[in-house]
Amino acid sequence: MPQPIPDPISDASDTLHTNYVGFASFAVLVWDHFDTFADEVELIWKAKRKGFFVYLFLFNRYFTPLGFIINLYAYLSPVWTYEVRFLARSSQPAHHTDRPVVHRQICARFVRYEGCTVAIAVEVVGLMMLLRINALYPNQKWISRGLIFILIGETAVNAWLISGAQPVMHNPASGIRACSMIFDPSLSAASAASAWIPLLYDTIIFGLTLYRTVPQFVEKKRAIS
């Protein structure tokens, strides 16, 4: 489904908000990385036994910020978005010139990378939380199976949406130069599912963790007092 060309003011405003959120999120991520690096060295790097959970942690710890840097560059890059701006201001077929076609392919391919980096980070964290819940509820395997079902469904929905992802269309009058991803506008219901399924999964994880840990914390506090 083709995207409507936004008016210049809305285009500039929406892109600016996207950039603000992206860079603010990256700043928090980097701050958290430095703030917890000493703990990482003591608990991860100096640990004698390194299991699957540790490798998942290290992968997500360093893959996410490195992948994020490329995404942020694309938010400001004039290179990968020329094709969108060209097609927006020209009614001629794309085959009339080579340059816009090449750039269009670059941006269209990149947005799938952008979507994959986000999805991989989310799914790896989801898997880490699943392992944690499995350790908290070793005798209730049905809980882990239910979470696995939700996580697989979440991964499948994200993969399907990313396969049809598109570059965000910009108005040439806005002067915006950016390459970012949007799901196919015709799949609005599925796009919403990509947000509420992870929210459901995280809420269940949070509730199960509280249910197991809070009573133990209260009992220990009573014993000390």
Could you read off the pLDDT of 22-57 as tens digits, one per residue?
999 999 999 999 999 999 999 888 888 788 888 999
- Residue-averaged pLDDT of the chain: 84
Residue-level pLDDT at 94: 46
pLDDT at 84: 42
Residue 99 scores a pLDDT above 80: no
Work out the pLDDT band at 2, boundaries 50, 70, 90: low
Q: Which residues pair with 76 in a beta bridge?
A: none
In the chain the beta strands, taken as DSSP E runs, fall at 166-167, 181-182
Burial of 187 (0-12, 13-18, 19+ CB in 10 A): middle
Query: What average pLDDT does the segment 106-127 reach?
Result: 89
More confident of the two residues 27 and 11: 27
Query: Which residues have a Cβ under 8 Å from the Cβ of 117 and sit 6 or more positions away?
Result: 63, 64, 67, 68, 70, 71
**Higher-pLDDT residue of 1, 86:** 1
Q: Any idea where the domains of the chain sit in the sequence?
A: 8-224
Q: Is the pLDDT confidence value at 204 over 90?
A: yes
Residues 6+ apart with CB under 8 A from 68: 25, 26, 29, 117
Q: Please, which pLDDT band fits residue 105 given cuts at 50, 70 and 90?
A: low
Quick one: what percent of the chain has pLDDT higher than 70?
Answer: 87
| 8 pLDDT higher than 90 | no
Contacts of 73 (CB under 8 A, 6+ apart): none
- Highest average pLDDT, of 119-133, 170-184, 211-225, comes from 119-133
pTM score of the predicted model: 0.79
- Neighbouring residues of 29: CB distance < 8 A, sequence distance ≥ 6: 64, 65, 68
**Residue 97: pLDDT band with limits 50, 70, 90:** very low
